[in-house]
Amino acid sequence: MRIEIPREVERLGAVRFYGLQKVLELDSGLKGDVTPEPGTGIQQLPYEALYETGKQMAIVIPVRNERLRLIEGVLAGIPHQCLTIMVSNSPREPIDRFSMEKEALENFFQFVNKKALIVHQKDPGLAESFRKVNYTSMLNDKGQVRDGKAEGMVIGTLLASMAGKKYVGFVDGDNYFPGAVEEYVREYATGFNISQSSYAMVRVAWHSKPKIVASKLLFRKWGRTSANTNNLLNQLISHYTGFETEIIKTGNAGEHALTIDLALQLDYSTGYSVEPYHIINLLEKYGGIGKSHLQELKGQSIEVYQIESRNPHLHETGDKDHIKEMSYIAMQAIYHSPICPDELKKDIFNKMVRQKLLSNDRKPPKPHIIKPLCTIDLANLRDYLNSTLFARSQKMGFPTLSECLLN
């Protein structure tokens, strides 16, 4: 991959937000093709380097009712050297969608001669293990694992760390273009290759997102939701730096990856706020604002890379409510952050009222926050997961981790 070196950077405390990097070549060859190019502002990541990083990476696909046809394409796009982890929250009745997913995965991975993990979010073994280590922010009032993509991401991160991986990346299961999935994974590896820190995050900005407008495809650059979320996050940063900025281009980036070291430190906000909340949480903890967690970093900085994919993003289209909800919950996450300045709070509130998301006399709801994995007894949790998930829970009809560990 040949890619721009980021020209801009915003520094807040230990956090570095790097400016958007454009991709010039998807495949820039092998090590022998690397030539010193001083002053061009471009660097080349040879295949071998991305491959080695990929070997240490787990790719998590959070799934809920996606069409199997699409999931199979996504699997084909994940490079062979990465571990694939599927965390499903698909219904098991009246049709057992999860068995179908499991079957498709087993079939695929048998032919590509590789291991993969699949687990159901509602597996009682999971909930049981979480209860034992008092990881209650992952549980609902019935004692089950909560619904939601963020919860699936936390489970995926946990499994990635149990599998001994250094990086965890997320891709959606409804992407129409396997080649785009492959590109995202390559971009994750590129970011981790460039990074100097063991606390790094890579976020993908879509080149464009095709929409059908008047029976033609329009390649939109920024959806309104993304523009709004990015704008608010940039205002938040500007407040503390004193300089207006447009550095954040990936506020809603579903395609992102983290080092496991960083992933274990972060709080997760549920629903569609998970992606913008990563930025907020980084600022809260490591931005040098308020209560500092800098000692956790052992002197390292946190590097956030933003890479613009070359492929457009073409996935199954959500409905309009979904878009509205996405924008609303992102605003809630910023609004309720302890570092959100009063002025921005007021702006966000007015916006919510204007958009008829909230009546004038109410307070915006607060997104549920999942505690960082580092705050729980991980060693014990891993033991519990190993024993409970490996023990059959036939009564519930859920397959167990041992069944899910393909191969």
Positions touching a second copy (CB under 8 A) are: 2, 23-30, 33, 35, 37, 40, 42, 47-48, 51, 73, 76-81, 108, 111-113, 176-180, 182-183, 210, 212, 215-217, 219, 310-312, 314, 317
Shorter beta-carbon distance to a second copy: residue 113 or 394? 113
**Closest distance to a second copy from the beta carbon of 83 (Å):** 13
CB 2 → a second copy: shortest distance, Å?
6
**Per the structure block, which two tokens stand in for 272?**
């569609």
Burial of 30 by CB count in 10 Å (0-12 exposed, 13-18 middle, 19+ buried)?
exposed
Nearer to a second copy, 79 or 341 (CB): 79
The residue (of 24 and 162) whose beta carbon lies closer to a second copy is 24
112 or 391: CB nearest a second copy: 112
Minimum CB distance to a second copy smaller for 35 or for 196: 35
**Closer Cβ to a second copy, 51 or 349, answer by number:** 51
Considering beta carbons, is residue 82 or 401 the nearer one to a second copy?
A: 82
CB of 341 to a second copy, least distance (A): 40
In the complex, the smallest distance separating the C-beta of residue 163 from a second copy, rounded to whole angstroms, is 18
Nearer to a second copy, 70 or 262 (CB): 70
Question: In the complex, what is the shortest distance from the CB of residue 115 to a second copy, in angstroms, rounded to a whole number?
Answer: 13
The identity of residue 191, as a single letter, is G
| Least distance to a second copy, CB of residue 307, Å | 13
Q: Give least dist CB 257 to a second copy, A.
A: 16
Beta carbon of residue 36, minimum distance to a second copy (angstroms, whole number): 10
